[in-house]
Amino acid sequence: MAAGKTVPARAAPAKSKRPDREPATRLPVARVSVDVPLPHLDRPFDYLVAAADDEAAQPGVRVKVRFAGQLVSGFLLERAESSPHGGKLAFLDKVVSSERILDPDVARLARAVADRYAGNLSDVLRLAVPPRHARVESQATADPERPAADIPDPLADVPIAPTPTPNPADADHPPQCAPDQGDPGAAGVGGPAPAGAGGPVSGGGGADGSASGGVGRAGLGSGRVDDRDGLASGGLGQGDLGSVGDGGGLDAGGAEPVGGAGLADGHGWGAYRAGPAYLRALAEGRAVRAVWSALPGEDWAARIAEAAAATVRAGRGVVVVVPDARDLERLDRALTGVLGAGRHVALNAAAGPAERYRRFLAASRHRVPVVVGTRAAMFAPVAELGLVVIWDDGDDLHAEPRAPYPHARDVLLTRAQLTDCAALVAGFARTGEGQLLIEAGWAREIVADRATLRARMPAISPTGDDPQLARDPGAATARLPSLAWQAARQALQAGAPVLVQVPRRGYLPSVACAECRTPARCPHCSGPLGLAGARDVPTCHWCGRAAADYACPACGARRLRASVTGARRTAEELGRAFPGVPVRTSGRDEILDTVGGEPALVVATPGAEPVAAGGFGAVLLLDSWALLSRSDLRAAEETMRRWLSAAALARPHGRGGRVIVVADGSLAPVQALLRWDPGWFAARELAERRELGFPPAARMASLTGRSEAVAEMLDALRLPDGAEVLGPVPAQDDQERMLLRVSRSKAADLAQALHQAAASRSAKKATLPVRIQVDPADLF
């Protein structure tokens, strides 16, 4: 009966829009990720492929489909013989372009990232694949790939450094302990929860093959490098590295020695224990993972370029992510130097949409083996990925501000995990996360020994216990601690530039006398006073001392008002202190990349410090207040990172380089700076966070929204055992913020529960938004 009705109903009226399309004979089903932001629709949907679309409808192409009556765009994830879907399948509306812009590995990565961050695949894909630019796409940039073999081996002539460090219990650490316990892990493709049967692109087994256009290697079909078990899974084993050594690397024979300083005498990677061995392992295409603490003065971009070149020589691809455009330019130059032109592309926001898409296409079409960029590049497709690198992983620019707020370090490590490739987490400082990778055995550290370090370090001293003021008769306005003043003067007299790191404007305003506007100065060190926190006790931004009974030295008034002392003001004052010396500033508005080697005062905010030709003669660190603003969990780590990054620009003390940090020498971060021991500091920091249950020792997530919405969300949330609920506390715009905390072993469970709760809310058409952030960038 019913059938009798439906059949004529379908056949009769002129409702059919398009004349009957025939499904493709082979693999007629297309599994599609549709671009809808609703969590309860975060799974692939199946469509029929019309015979006419058969050829174009390959995995990775953009498609348009009718979804709930609307025409929406999506990505074709895979082709299948049949669909588990009970009902009728609609046809793909059209294949937008035959460009396979979504790499199967990237699709897999995106799913894993979505799962980790309790987000939607479609949100991650929006971050991973830039908007299409049809004109660029049609311009066939037929730029043939050059062979990989013409890249010189920077290590060709280097004897392998002995690696005496004992090999701590090298028990096979399950890989998934590193980026995240319980994350996609060993099972490989599938991934938890809503990924659908067998993972979104699992069918593309053959897809691996597509990557090998010219850089393919035999016997690595599935991208695994398991031939040396201990290493692939256990990370960089010291003992193993030693043995890798001179045993005639694969193609090392054919490589030419690189010009200039040999590595054996403590230059380049040769300056680090395990450095040459790491590079050699990369050149052999092995999945070695390391956390690298760069030496002061290190030309980090050159080192990364060398690591990239070694990987490329093994016929494999590289992705490098740096915090900002300036770092990117530096790396870009270094890569051009090592690889030659046309072997890499730089992806950054600065380039317009067309240029950005052009470069992305170059990577996507495997025209280049190396992709570098700011965080958007973390998803860049490359053929046969062999190495991922992140520089300065503590920089908050690595945190993506769009949902689901993934962090570049975690994305890259997940990537290394999924494709079983090498990883390098690098910086002058070491984050708690980096330390955790080491302690968990997922990565090994690459550090220099103390002797090398001592030779490269500037002399570093604190002034916190030196309250004596500079009293230079010629510069009455100069108000620097005497040690800082002396160091600056000596450096200038010796003909060198001086770097002064000052607080970024707009963080904590300093204060001035409410009556006469005289800036309020610390009675001890003359640093700027600030009104941090709720208390009204003004506190010094430099030395941290509280000035409880402050009275204005000019007019005697006791009331203070907020004012802003930024880099410019400091620059003016310093200019007066050192007459005749040029003063330059580098900050948010105008950033200097480099300065010359002649005497000058360079006032810079953190992150904007230029590199000086020959290094700075002195570096003055005046922003120790950041330490004391207890607002953020990472305050100490961040301070350490800023100090090391600035201090790294000083000359070695053998050439007169000095660093003065205006802070109390007994504070742990100051101690770590004085000894240049980021590893010690990170271990201490991590231990403390373990004790307090802070990330990365535990996994946290935040829920932000109107209080009804947060309550509703919490109601729908089936938290894993042992989860803690903290808050809610008031947040901006009459919103509330609630924190959730679980052990690392429950991290994946928490993310899944959050996604599920969001799904049930969105299925019920809940309108009030709740922002879900796993590992929120800012805590407290």
The strand pairing partners of 271, in sequence order, are none
The torsion defined by the Cα of 660, 662, 666 and 667, in degrees rounded to 10, comes to: -110
The nearer residue to DNA, 29 or 492, going by C-beta atoms, is 29
Q: Are strands 724-731 and 735-743 parallel, antiparallel or unpaired?
A: antiparallel
Which phi and psi (to 5°) does residue 390 adopt?
-125, 130
- The three-point CA angle 447-328-212 to 5° equals 85
- In the complex with DNA, the residue whose CB is nearer, 68 or 534, is 68
Q: What x/- string results for residues 737 through 776 when contact with DNA is judged by CB under 7 A?
A: --------------------------x-x-----------
CB-CB neighbours of 362 under 10 Å: 18
CA distance 446 to 430: 11
Tell me if 5 contacts DNA by CB under 7 A.
no
Q: Measured from the CB of residue 567, what is the shortest distance to DNA in angstroms?
A: 49
Are 521 and 527 in contact, with CB atoms under 8 Å apart?
A: yes
Nearer to DNA, 82 or 468 (CB): 82
Q: Decide: is 66 part of the binding site for DNA (CB under 7 A).
A: yes
Say if residues 321 and 361 touch (Cβ distance below 8 Å): no
Tell me which stretch binds DNA (CB under 7 A): 61-69, 362-370, 507-515, 702-710.
Answer: 61-69
Question: Of the ranges 68-76, 430-438, 445-453, 656-664, which one interacts with DNA (CB under 7 A)?
Answer: 68-76
Task: With CA atoms as reference, report the closest residue to 360 among 100, 38, 714.
Answer: 100
Q: How far is the CB of 21 from DNA (least distance, A)?
A: 12
Binder to DNA among 4, 13, 87, 474 (CB under 7 A)? 87
Shortest reach from residue 40's CB to DNA, in Å: 6
For residues 667 and 627, the answer to whether their CB atoms sit within 8 Å is yes
Q: Least distance from C-beta 48 to DNA, angstroms?
A: 7
66/706 with CB nearer DNA = 66
Please report how close the Cβ of residue 132 comes to DNA at its closest, in angstroms.
Answer: 22
What is the chain's alpha carbon radius of gyration, rounded to the nearest angstrom?
A: 29
With respect to DNA, which residue has the nearer C-beta, 85 or 718? 85
* Residue 68 in the binding site for DNA (CB under 7 A): yes
Of 121 and 320, CB closest to DNA: 121
Query: For DNA, which stretch binds (CB under 7 A), given 60-68, 368-376, 535-543, 601-609?
Result: 60-68
Burial class (CB in 10 A: 0-12, 13-18, 19+), 314: buried
Q: What is the DSSP letter of 159?
A: P
Q: Show the tokens assigned to 146.
A: 């050059």
Contact 470, 480 (CB under 8 A): yes
CB 78, CB 200: distance < 8 Å: yes
Nearer to DNA, 66 or 569 (CB): 66
User: Among residues 38 and 469, whose Cβ is nearest to DNA?
Assistant: 38
CB of residue 90 to DNA, shortest distance in Å: 3
* Residue closer to DNA (CB basis): 45 or 405: 45
CA distances to 518, 538, 562, 662 from 550, rounded to whole Å, are: 13, 8, 15, 21
Q: How far is the CB of 44 from DNA (least distance, A)?
A: 8
Give the 3-state DSSP-derived string for 250-271, with helices as H, strands as E and coil as C.
CCHHHCCECCCCCCCCCCHHHH
Q: Which stretch binds DNA (CB under 7 A): 82-90, 270-278, 331-339, 585-593?
A: 82-90
DSSP string, 644-692: HHHHTTBPPGGGT-EEEE-S-TTSHHHHHHHHT-HHHHHHHHHHHHHHH
Nearest approach, Cβ of 81 to DNA (angstroms)? Answer: 14
Question: Least distance from C-beta 20 to DNA, angstroms?
Answer: 15
User: Is 712 an interacting residue with respect to DNA (CB under 7 A)?
Assistant: no
- Which residue's CB is nearer to DNA, number 261 or number 763? 763
Q: Which is nearer to DNA, 67 or 379 (CB)?
A: 67
Contact 497, 614 (CB under 8 A): no
**CB 75 to DNA: min, Å:** 14
Query: How big is the chain, counted in residues?
Result: 780
Nearer to DNA, 67 or 643 (CB): 67
Size of the site for DNA (CB under 7 A): 21
User: Contacting DNA (CB under 7 A), which of 10, 26, 85, 450?
Assistant: 85
CB of 88 to DNA, least distance (A): 7
Rule CB under 7 A: say whether 10 interacts with DNA: no
Q: By CB under 7 A, which span of 63-71, 122-130, 510-518, 566-574 interacts with DNA?
A: 63-71
Report the half-sphere exposure of 431 (CA within 13 A, side-chain side): 22
Q: Minimum Å distance from CB 735 to DNA? A: 22
CB of 191 to DNA, least distance (A): 19
Least separation, in Å, of the C-beta of 77 and DNA?
12
- Which of 37/213 has CB closer to DNA? 37
Mask for 618-647, x = binds DNA (CB under 7 A) = ------------------------------
Give the footprint of DNA on residues 570-599 (CB under 7 A): none
Phi-psi bin for 297: left (phi > 0), alpha (psi -120 to 50), beta? left
CB 767 within 8 A of CB 713: no
Q: Do 109 and 414 contact (CB within 8 A), yes or no? A: yes
Q: Is the CB of 46 or the CB of 153 nearer to DNA?
A: 46
Q: Which is nearer to DNA, 69 or 401 (CB)?
A: 69
Q: Are 669 and 681 in contact (CB under 8 A)?
A: yes
47: contact with DNA by CB under 7 A: yes
With CB under 7 A as the contact rule, the residue among 83, 212, 243, 336 that binds DNA is 83
Smallest separation, CB 41 to DNA (Å)? 5
Q: Is 75 in the site for DNA (CB under 7 A)?
A: no
Residue list 17-46, contact with DNA (CB under 7 A): 38, 40-41, 45-46
Instruction: For residue 54, give the H/E element and its range.
Output: none
Q: 47: closest CA among 13, 83, 100, 1?
A: 83
* CB-based contact 61:28 (threshold 8 Å): no
- Residue 550 in contact with DNA, rule: CB under 7 A: no
Give me the residue label for tokens 């953020």: 632
Strand runs (DSSP E) across 518-568, as ranges? Answer: 529-530, 539-540, 560-563
Whether the Cβ atoms of residue 479 and residue 526 lie closer than 8 Å to each other: yes
Q: Which is nearer to DNA, 88 or 169 (CB)?
A: 88
Q: Assess 90 for contact with DNA (CB under 7 A).
A: yes
Contact 575, 473 (CB under 8 A): no
- Residue placing its CB nearer to DNA in the complex, 6 or 139: 6
Kindly state the smallest distance separating residue 637's Cβ from DNA, in Å: 43
For 518, which DSSP code?
P
Cα distance between residue 239 and residue 243, in whole Å? 7
- Ramachandran area for residue 425 (φ above 0: left; ψ -120 to 50: alpha; else beta): beta
Q: Distances in Å between the alpha carbon of 127 and those of 148, 248, 277?
A: 30, 42, 35
Q: Which residues in 294-353 contact DNA (CB under 7 A)?
A: none
Nearest distance in Å: CB 719, DNA: 24
Residues of this chain that interact with DNA (CB under 7 A) are 38, 40-41, 45-48, 65-70, 83, 85, 87-90, 763, 765
